[in-house]
Each structure stands twice: as C-alpha cells, then as structure tokens.
Copies of this chain bind each other. A is one copy, B any other.
C-alpha cells in the first residue's frame, strides 16, 4: 500500500496553515522565516516523508544540476576510473552525473547527445567514439550554450576545453626505453590517424625513430582499431616480414595482448626475441605472462580535472574566458615484456 500521491510543499503548507512560499523558504533556511516556523516545517516534512521534486526545481530555476557524460565504453578500467573520480568531484559540488556509452558508434553517440540535451543537462563531458569525424552534433551542444568538455579522445577543431595526456611525449618515452634496452628495429601498431590521440602517438613514434637514427619503414607502422583481434592480425603481419622487428610498440593494451598471444603461440620469447610495449595500463597487463610494459594515463586526475573544468565553466558562464587545454604527462610502467634480462 504505497501512498500513491507524493507529498509536496503544499501538503506541508496545509498542515501548518501557512503558504507554500513560506514552506519553500523555510526549507532553504531563508533568514526572513522565523525559527519556530522552520522547525515546524522540518518536523512535518520529515513526518510526511517529503522529498523535493527535482523536476519542478529544475524547471523553475532553469538548471538541472545534472551533467551528462559520454564514454566509448565503461568496461575499460580507464573510463570506469575516470568516471569514478569525476563523479566524486561533481557530487561534492551538488551535481549528479548521467553516464552514457557510445559503444564506439557515431550513431549511438549522436543519440546520446540528443538524450542528454533533452534531459536538460547543465553540461556535457565526453570522450569521442573512434568512428566520429562529423562534429555537427558537438556543435549542437556548443550552440545550446552549455559547457562541453572533452577528455582523452578530443578534437582540436571543436575549440572546446580538453583534458588528456601527452601522447606525443609518451611515444618518445616508449621508444627511448626500447632503445635503451638495445632495440634496433621498432615497429608500431597504432590507432587510426584521424583520431588525434593516435595521430600524436604515431607522430611521437616517427620523430623518436628519426632521432635515434633507427630504420623507419612503412611496413613497420600500421593503423587499426586496436582491438585484441587487430593486435593479433597486425602482429602476424609483422612476423611475416622479411626482416622482423625486435620490438613492437602497440598503441593500446588490448591489441598488445593480442600481439602477445601470437608471439607466445609462435614460440617467440618476449622480451628476449621481441620486446613489447602497450598503452593504457589496463589491469590485465600485470596479470599475463609475461607482464606487459605500458603507459599509465592517470585516469583519476583526468576525471578530476575534467570535472573541475566543467565547474569553472559554469561558475564563469558570462566571462568569455580562454580555452583550457590540460595536457598531463603520462607514466611509463616498465614490466617484463620489455626488460632486458
């Protein structure tokens, strides 16, 4: 027997024979309401199990206190961890978050944007799907005048706030490390160049290769979606080369895992025959044999900074402040797959 009708501010007002406005003010601790009334209101509110109706508040105030978040998937440790720290910061500031997944699909991403705008979120924090090249939906967010913050997978052309790591520099770190281990022929299994972060990783790889005077050959560098299967396929291609590489830098951990499988299956010793480095520091990198060297992206920091950037934006809505581009340094976590014994 749930009491069908939710209790409203008016019910409290009737119970105390005062106006609804007085109740509202009492609940918000307005100085012009007497202590007595406030206490009475709070008592009755508890008694009737009053819960404010967010929809009414949001409608009246023109502010929903909701932030929409779009991620490609939640099942990677990186995104789930970003979400966690993001939520923590935003909750503290009185915001709640709505998480949506694009599943790396452009269409789904557009749907998500529509859903979020329809839900009247006060802002959107997003990491773009791999597929996304058409930015008109993101322009739509901007044209609504609500803050848009991108993280990890961003896009310079959009001219919005961005939080991510220094992918270019990460590639330099990786190649440097491999060179120090004695590698002379380093291959790169990369993501698609059209995605900025993967392009930066490729650029970093190429520049580092040149810097150390290592062979730079087309056959040593490929693009893919970086799934596990892609990693397997690209690794097989590399093994079929006349001159095999002695190290492979894979721009994603799942693809690195696929590559490792192929190497293991072919009895090629990692790291002695071929050294391997991944990217993203997914938990499994420290669980497989051998453990995989990878790049830690400081997901907690990224989540926190993205949230804080959003909060800054709403605080200074009027001021046309300059864009925030926050680029964090990543960290190379050296494990067995790249270590010289």
User: Contact residues of A with B, CB < 8 Å?
Assistant: 2-4, 6, 49, 51-56, 58-59, 64, 66, 73-77, 79-81, 83-84, 87, 91, 96, 98-101, 103, 111, 115, 117-120, 142-145, 228, 257, 261, 264, 284, 287-289
Besides A2-B144, A288-B288, 20 more A-B contacts (Cβ < 8 Å) are A49-B143, A51-B117, A51-B118, A53-B120, A54-B119, A55-B55, A55-B58, A55-B59, A56-B59, A74-B74, A74-B80, A75-B76, A75-B81, A80-B101, A84-B103, A98-B99, A99-B99, A261-B287, A284-B287, A289-B289
CB nearest neighbor in B for A99: B99
CA distance in complex: A301, B108 (Å): 21
CB nearest neighbor in B for A58: B55
CA distance in complex: A87, B55 (Å): 22
| Chain B residues within an 8 Å CB radius of A289 | 264, 288-289
CA distance in complex: A75, B82 (Å): 11
Q: How far is the CB of A210 from chain B (nearest CB, A)?
A: 35
List 28 A–B pairs whose Cβ atoms lie within 8 Å, in order of A's numbering. Answer: A2-B144, A6-B144, A51-B117, A51-B118, A53-B120, A54-B119, A54-B120, A55-B58, A73-B80, A74-B74, A74-B75, A74-B99, A75-B75, A75-B76, A75-B79, A75-B80, A80-B101, A91-B111, A96-B115, A96-B118, A96-B119, A98-B98, A98-B99, A99-B99, A99-B100, A228-B287, A284-B287, A289-B289
The listed residue with most B CB atoms (<10 A of its CB), out of A49, A54, A55, is A55
CA distance in complex: A73, B3 (Å): 33
**Contact of A64 (CB < 8 Å), options: B55, B143, B284:** B55
**Contact of A2 (CB < 8 Å), options: B96, B115, B145:** B145
CA distance in complex: A117, B75 (Å): 26
| Chain B residues within an 8 Å CB radius of A261 | 287
CA distance in complex: A260, B76 (Å): 22
Q: How far is the CB of A109 from chain B (nearest CB, A)?
A: 13
| Chain B residues within an 8 Å CB radius of A84 | 101, 103
CB nearest neighbor in B for A115: B96
CB nearest neighbor in B for A287: B257
Q: How far is the CB of A268 from chain B (nearest CB, A)?
A: 14
The answer to whether B145 touches A4 (Cβ under 8 A) is yes
Q: In the A-B complex, list the 7 residue pairs whose CB atoms are closest, starting with the nearest.
A: A75-B80, A74-B74, A2-B145, A99-B99, A55-B59, A98-B98, A54-B118
Q: How far is the CB of A92 from chain B (nearest CB, A)?
A: 12
The listed residue with most B CB atoms (<10 A of its CB), out of A52, A74, A143, A284, is A74
**Contact of A59 (CB < 8 Å), options: B51, B59, B115, B118:** B59
CA distance in complex: A84, B101 (Å): 8
CA distance in complex: A66, B3 (Å): 21
Q: How far is the CB of A125 from chain B (nearest CB, A)?
A: 14
The answer to whether B120 touches A55 (Cβ under 8 A) is yes
CA distance in complex: A3, B140 (Å): 12
CA distance in complex: A91, B103 (Å): 15
Q: How far is the CB of A209 from chain B (nearest CB, A)?
A: 30
| Chain B residues within an 8 Å CB radius of A66 | 119
CB nearest neighbor in B for A260: B287
CB nearest neighbor in B for A63: B55
